[in-house]
Structure 1
Amino acid sequence: MEEVQLPKSLEAVLVAIAAEDLRAGGKQRKTMLVGHSLGGWTMFAHSILYPNPQSPPSPGESLRSHVAGIYAIAPFLGIAAETAPSSVVVAVGKLIRRIKPDFPIEKAVQGKVFDHPDVDAEFYSDPQTYHGKIRCSTGLSLLRMTSFIQSHEGAVVVASLAIPVRVVHGDADRVCSASNSVEFVKKMSHVGEGKRKRECEIWEGYEHVMFGYGWDETDDRHREMRLRVLKDLHDWMVEQSSSG
């Protein structure tokens, strides 16, 4: 599956960091992974592809990552109902992909990531972003990615790593499915070391962009929501650091 290039690239970065640690005469550091949306998918897919990252390599063993925890923000573990394509669109997309894989077929997430109108205005005014409908090949790749991550075996592999996992997701997310986050963490709770927390919290009123930023000094609501996410992440990182 070509989509696994993302977690493979993450592993390459983590190994490069480890090599630099050792080159500088230090020990390989533990790494906490934090990711949002597709970044969340990449972290969990990485843990599935590299299923033993919780301990440093033995002497003489090839360098590999040493992940000590995962914090996922609105991860892409499933497509929200408001964005998911119909079975007809999927079937048509598979047919079109054979002849024209870059054919734009579905509107997808446009207008659904955040509740402030300036978000879309900024998106469409940026000349470096793609403003069209999602292409057949891209859309089908995203569907394969959700199938890969939703498998029960995937959740078991992540849980068996014996590392803490925390997922926060908004109940108003119209891009990534909050219920899939809940289900994935629930599957994880049945295996692995009990002392390692696997948590999933669904936060009321949060959309896909959970770091809502304010457009002026009076936008207190978005500021409070953003600070809540940052505080939760900070507190979790401190907790993991103090627990060793």
Structure 2
Amino acid sequence: MVWSPPPDQAAYFSIPAPSDTHSLALQLLHRPPHGDPTWGRAALPRGPDEQRIRETHPHRDGRVYLHGSDREWVAYQVWEPAKECDLVFVHGINDFGGKFGVHASKFLDAGYRVVVPDLPGHGRSTGIHVYCPSMEALADAVYEVIKDVALQDYQLVQEAGGAALTQTRKVFVGGQSLGGFTAALTCLKYGAAPLDTSLPSAAAAAAAADANPGPGDSTGSTSFRPTISGGLFLCPMLAISPDSRPSPLVELAARALASVAGPLPFASANRGKNSEDPEVEEVFDRDPQTYHGKLRIATGLAILNGILDLTAQQSHLRVPFLLCHGTGDRVTSFHGSEALLRCAESADKELKLYPEYQHILLRKGRDEQDDARRQHVLGDMLDWLERH
């Protein structure tokens, strides 16, 4: 049975995804149509769930510029209650930040402010859709969002008569799948107070940030280092399931082509393996803000290299964290989460394994009984936050 959107959402789901209409030549040449560095994604309307949150909660939209350029940025949304605590939640591959709107009420109602960035190459951020040649760049972008949100808070405090540039909120970084990997890497690089420069990658990032302030950057903000209080890693991409990893022959071909055809869509990766409910992928493929093509060469290789790099440094993860993983996951292996739990130096670490749960732990059920699994995971996330 083919999924049909509710009548009030039909117009949104009838919009074609921009990346479905772009020629491969433009992508290989890195030439966005009409000079739009978001490749048409920023012009799309908000999805139904994120729009609902925006209509019922105070919110603000942000954009943080990268590498000192006004043509390269990460977009984000802030959904605001009053509690002095932030949950920054990072979406998975091919997705966008606003999709978390369907789950956000659980945390907003508990008083948490929710920040949802669009990773580079995703959503309203710049870049070819899901062309991500560096995993470390994703973590750096998330931390720049954390800084930017804190600086916006500072400006509001300054307008009210305050002056000190200090961090006023606890910040927890969560994510699922690629977002879980990115959240873990962000906590690894930036989780220490204020920055663990014993890691070469973190020291280099700090030096680069100070040397390349973005447009409008002032108040000494490049040297401002917010502290991350902990992480929530859902089905993190720390190890690829054998069901989803391309064959050695495909990897070899990808490495041969990478230098000349990095944006080339090449591998099926996790297609058809995300959930036991086929409707999940039907809805995903109808959403104009998601990416529907094959995994790009440079992105796939960056994921494999990123996993190796994070694994080599995972003992340095010192912030408190919660891992959540389904034992039935056919995309990312829960053994990667077990390894992180075992190796990380953090004295406050937990792993929750959900028997037979598949990759998308936060799959919204079709009815209350079917939704019990999602509510279980959301409840575990909130319980952990409340204890920290």
Q: Same fold (TM over 0.5)?
A: yes
**Is 2:284 the partner of 1:123?**
yes
Counterpart residue identity of residue 226, structure 1: R
Q: Distance in 2 between matches of 1:144 and 1:96?
A: 16
Moved more, 227-236 or 116-125: 116-125
Counterpart residue identity of residue 82, structure 1: D
Who is 1:175 aligned against?
331
Deviation at 1:150, TM superposition (A): 1.4
Moved more, 134-143 or 70-79: 134-143
**Is 2:369 the partner of 1:229?**
no
Q: What stretches of structure 2 of length at least 5 have no aligned partner?
A: 1-132, 196-219
Deviation at 1:100, TM superposition (A): 2.7
> Structure 1 or 2: larger helix share?
1
**Is 2:272 the partner of 1:111?**
yes
Who is 1:164 aligned against?
320
Deviation at 1:54, TM superposition (A): 5.9
Determine helix, strand or coil for the equivalent of 2:242. Answer: coil
Deviation at 1:201, TM superposition (A): 1.9
Determine helix, strand or coil for the equivalent of 1:67. Answer: coil
Q: What stretches of structure 1 of length at least 5 have no aligned partner?
A: none
TM-score, reference length from structure 2: 0.53
Who is 1:14 aligned against?
146
Q: Distance in 1 between matches of 2:142 and 2:289?
A: 24
Query: 1:34, 1:72 within 8 Å by CA — same for their partners in 2?
Result: yes
Determine helix, strand or coil for the equivalent of 1:182. Answer: helix
Deviation at 1:3, TM superposition (A): 2.7
Query: 1:11, 1:64 within 8 Å by CA — same for their partners in 2?
Result: no
Kindly provide the CA deviation profile for residues 157-180 of structure 1, in whole angstroms up to 9, marking residues without a partner as x.
213xxx311101000111111101
* Number of residues of Structure 1 aligned to a counterpart in Structure 2: 223
TM-score, reference length from structure 1: 0.83
**Is 2:354 the partner of 1:206?**
no
Q: Distance in 1 between matches of 2:134 and 2:356?
A: 35
RMSD value, Cα: 2.3
Moved more, 6-15 or 130-139: 130-139
Q: Distance in 1 between matches of 2:263 and 2:229?
A: 39
Determine helix, strand or coil for the equivalent of 2:317. Answer: helix
Runs of 4+ that moved beyond 4 A: none
Kindly provide the CA deviation profile for residues 58-99 of structure 1, in whole angstroms up to 9, marking residues without a partner as x.
xx9931121111111111112111101122211111112234
Deviation at 1:50, TM superposition (A): 2.6
Greater length-normalized contact order (CA 8 Å, ≥ 6 residues apart): 1
Deviation at 1:52, TM superposition (A): 2.3
Deviation at 1:18, TM superposition (A): 2.5
Query: 2:320, 2:349 within 8 Å by CA — same for their partners in 1?
Result: yes
Determine helix, strand or coil for the equivalent of 1:105. Answer: strand
Determine helix, strand or coil for the equivalent of 1:33. Answer: strand
**Is 2:233 the partner of 1:67?**
no
Of residues 185, 203, 228 in structure 2, which corresponds to 1:45?
185
Counterpart residue identity of residue 324, structure 2: V
Who is 2:75 aligned against?
none
Determine helix, strand or coil for the equivalent of 2:230. Answer: strand
Counterpart residue identity of residue 158, structure 1: L
Change (3 A) 1:17 1:130: closer
Change (3 A) 1:155 1:206: same
Who is 1:141 aligned against?
302
Query: 1:45, 1:149 within 8 Å by CA — same for their partners in 2?
Result: yes
Counterpart residue identity of residue 369, structure 2: D
